[in-house]
Chains A and B, each alone.
Chain A
Amino acid sequence: MRLKHVLRPAVIISNLVAWLVALLWLLPFVGLFMTSTRPFEEVVLQGWWSLAGNYTLANYVEVLTDPQYDLATGFKNSFIVALPSTLAPLLIAALAAYAFSRFSFTMRNLLFVTILVIMAIPQQTMVIPLFFLLKSMGLLDQLLGVILIHSSWGIAWITFFMRNYFSMLPRDVEEAARVDGASYATIFFRIILPLSLPALAAAAAIQFTWVWADFFFALIFLYSPENMVITQKVVTIKGQYQIDWGLLSAGSILAMIPPVLVYAALQKYYLRGMAGWVTGKG
């Protein structure tokens, strides 16, 4: 009798549909993985869904080491770009966000609206003058140039995000410190930042994933093979006419690993950050 209640139609249908969708959504990844671990000719003949055959890591090795594809360099460059582009804007934006949240100054609303507007603007709007700017600074086709751009670009949304979070922190701890004579800088570094670790973790996870995944900025500002990031390198594996899916899928999976790992490790923060950012709460 009790089982009947638990197994009522709504529950059965929901479970079936939800799990079906989840498995369906995984299917492309499964296919990609299967294709990457077999010789391509095999996949063409049998389809990746057949489980028999030779499994091999040859595709991965080739795509990483063969100078034509050189994903290892791409991997390295992506890290060199993504790590500073995550840490720098985090600190800079947190400082700015604290100002927006705790201080009152004449231009506050204007500046904040400016930030909101910047958040909405597409990357395409910035690149033409930036191209010439970087060129004149000698930073074109340099990883440092891209790091600067990503950092600046990240400041806008991270400021918005952290400011919302700061607004929700009760002020008593800071006020007590003020009464004790602490400077605002001390309060910021010793009190606010430690209290904000969850939000900072969320912002870091999202920013890292975003910079790692970026393609457009890399496409515009990096063009020597030794400077390209992994997203660019992966796309070049795709030949003009015939596609070797074994190589391409291996490359794709390599490109996916770091962001997926970051997501898996910081999942709690990532999701909370996403939901909070969109609904306007920290």
Chain B
Amino acid sequence: MSRVGDSPLSLKIKEHVRAYLFLLPALALLSVFVIYPIAGTISISLRSEEGFTLGNYIAVVTERSPTKALIISENLGGAPPWGALLHNAVWILVHVPATTALGLVLAYMLTHVYGRSVVKSLIFVSMVIPMVVGGLIIRFIFDGQVGVIPRLMGGLGLEDLARTWTAYPETSLASLIIGSIWLWLGFSLTIHSAAVDNIPRSYIEAARIDGASELQIFRYIVVPAVWPATLTVAVMTLLWDLKIFDIVYAATQGGPGGSSTVLAYVMWLYFARALDYGKAAATAVILTILTLVAAAYLVRRSLGVEKR
């Protein structure tokens, strides 16, 4: 406790010491196991035997071999000539709108549904499982022998799709993306549901008494009201799609022939298979930069919340 003799300066020092004592374990672990490695990776990416170089980055970005290409790939069999980065981009372009929109629509629909917490729980379970298992499940449902989807396609007469999707370059990426919608909907639904539940009942009743239909209420009242949540879901989903690794490893190993590689998987190939640490680091840094750009939005919002 402060005593009469304490000067403002000594109180301040006390407070600083106290703060740093509380922070010490955290700072210690973070410095050694997080901050140092991040700096280390950047450093490795910029080095070669000759010293400072951007060569790793250039090599990694211009690589064209199917399994390691980032942008343009050659020789992918039936798949488009896209590298891992483009695969991530396509993934984002399909997955983010689909999951975000589906979650939002479902969240509003659920306000009329009986047993809605059960529905929410059932859809959320796929978020709780390890993502490698998620990848194995994707492999499972798209399997030519035992998977539902190929059976369904066969039943519909679409013979080309009645085989194991992950085994063919044309369909491997698609199967992963569709599977990821199954995996990630729970997140979108939960966040949107919380936001929808937060809308004051009177907002919707006021629209009802004015004659708005359910669709109009959804479009003009609900969507604008939950917009911040929608943005958050979209950005978090985007971040997840950028970093994706486990699913790809478990389901397709980036194949066949590199048709379903993603940025994180390429990084791992450089590290564990090619033992090329410079290029692995460069890939990791590229991944990080993209992630940070996307996350900057979220960081700014969190700081905004903090200021309030």
Q: CB within 8 Å of B: which residues of A?
A: 10-11, 13-15, 17-19, 21-23, 25-29, 31-32, 35, 43-44, 47-49, 92-93, 95-96, 98-99, 103-106, 108, 111-130, 133, 148-149, 151-153, 155-156, 159-160, 164, 167, 178, 181, 184, 188, 209, 212-216, 219-220, 231, 234-235, 238, 243, 245, 248-249, 252, 255-256, 259-260, 262-263, 267, 271, 274-275, 278-281
Is B219 an interface residue, CB under 8 A from the partner?
Answer: no
Enumerate chain A residues within 8 angstroms of B143, measured Cβ to Cβ. Answer: 243, 245
- B86 → chain A, closest Cβ, in Å? 18
Q: With contacts A25-B182, A129-B41, A256-B130 known, is A216 near B246, CB below 8 A?
A: yes
Inter-subunit contact A28/B140 (CB<8 Å): yes
State A22–B121 Cα separation when bound (angstroms): 9
Interface-side segment among B59-67, B72-80, B89-97, B185-193:
B185-193
5 of the cross-chain contacts (CB-CB < 8 Å) are A21-B123, A92-B29, A213-B133, A215-B130, A234-B132
Q: Counting CB contacts under 8 A, is B119 at the interface?
A: yes
Query: By CB atoms of chain B within 10 A, which of A18, A118, A243, A248 has the most?
Result: A18
Q: A11, A18, A120, A181: which contacts B116 (Cβ < 8 A)? A: A18
A105 to B19, CA, bound (A): 7
Write the chain B residue with the least CB distance to A280. B305
B34, chain A: closest CB distance, angstroms? 5
Q: Which residues of B contact A167 (CB under 8 A)?
A: 306
Q: Are A259 and B26 in contact (CB under 8 A)?
A: no
B132–A235 touching, CB < 8 Å: yes
- Residue numbers of B with Cβ under 8 A of A are 1, 15-16, 18-20, 22-23, 25-27, 29-30, 32-41, 44, 106, 109-116, 118-126, 128-133, 136-137, 139-141, 143, 145-146, 148, 151, 182, 185, 187, 190-191, 194-195, 214, 228-229, 232-233, 236, 239, 242-243, 245-246, 249-250, 264, 267-268, 271-272, 277, 280-281, 283-285, 287-288, 291-292, 294-295, 298-299, 301-303, 305-306
Q: How far is the CA of A263 from the CA of B131 in the complex (A)?
A: 15
Chain B residues with Cβ below 8 Å from A28 are: 126, 137, 140-141, 148, 182
Which of B125, B128, B280 is packed against the most chain A CB atoms within 10 Å?
B128
From A17, A25, A178, A234, contact of B185 by CB (8 A):
A25
User: Is A22's CB under 8 angstroms from B119's CB?
Assistant: yes
Complex: A9 Cα to B92 Cα, angstroms: 34
Q: Which B residues lie within 8 Å of A130 (CB)?
A: 33, 37
